[in-house]
Amino acid sequence: MRPYIEGEKLDSKVSISEADLKAGSPKIGDMIARNPNNHDDKWLVAKAYFDDNFELIL
């Protein structure tokens, strides 16, 4: 996963759920996930979900 960059224009390959769009995503703190077996398969992970279920490793 990588962070969403403020002002970044996401291509159509990044899926964003209707609920996340209604919540204002993409926004700072959101993450972009990518399927390691298919680099065209990408989706947005909302900040709240990421914070509740993942840990940032630097």
Encode pLDDT of 3-37 as tens digits.
999 999 999 999 999 999 999 999 999 999 999 99
Model-level pTM? 0.90
Residue 58 has pLDDT above 90, yes or no: no
Do the Cβ atoms of 47 and 29 come closer than 8 Å? yes
Residue 47 has pLDDT above 90, yes or no: yes
- What pLDDT, on a 0 to 100 scale, did the predictor assign at position 50? 98
Q: What are phi and psi of 46, to 5 degrees?
A: -65, 150
Q: Which residues contact 34 (CB under 8 A, 6 or more apart)?
A: 1, 2, 41, 42
CA distance 5 to 32: 10
- What pLDDT, on a 0 to 100 scale, did the predictor assign at position 20? 98
